[in-house]
Amino acid sequence: MFQGASAINLDAKGRMSIPAKHRDALSIQCEGRLTLTRHPDGCVMLFPRPVWEQHRQQISAWPMQARAWQRIFLGYATDVEMDTAGRILISPELRAAVGLDKEVMMMGMGSHFEIWDAAKMAEKELQALEAGTPDVLANFSF
């Protein structure tokens, strides 16, 4: 179960270091084998490979009416492996598709991570707060 936020800088080649708090878990869970893909909200999703393979099977079975969505999820999917320094490379195509720049935020989302351009994520959070609490959370409390 991945959770928490980490501020990370991409290097000039588009590599990012997986935070140490997640690196060991990913090494154990999937031997550092990961899959990156595009999310329509404007971020990159990072999955342990076994988790992605389950999603990939479901997405591949979608009907023709969902072909455009298959292209978003499957077309941008890239298998990567952590190097010995715990870094991964985010392809130029994927970085361009979601607008990743140098400063990114890596957010644990349970079974996977989201990688956001830091400024874009701050903007999305502000929009969500300004929109108010959605009805689906009406009965939610800590």
Looking at residue 40, its pLDDT comes to 93
Looking at residue 64, its pLDDT comes to 95
Is the pTM of the predicted complex or chain greater than 0.85? yes
Looking at residue 36, its pLDDT comes to 98
Whether 141 is in a domain gets the answer no
Whether 50 is in a domain gets the answer yes
Q: Which domain holds residue 114?
A: 2-133
Whether 40 is in a domain gets the answer yes
Whether 55 is in a domain gets the answer yes
Whether 86 is in a domain gets the answer yes
Q: Are 90 and 115 in contact (CB under 8 A)?
A: yes
**Domains held by the chain: number:** 1
Whether 138 is in a domain gets the answer no
How many helices (H) and strands (E) the chain has is answered by: 5, 8
Looking at residue 8, its pLDDT comes to 97
CATH number where 31 lies: 3.40.1550.20
pLDDT under 50 in the chain at which residues?
Answer: none
Looking at residue 87, its pLDDT comes to 97
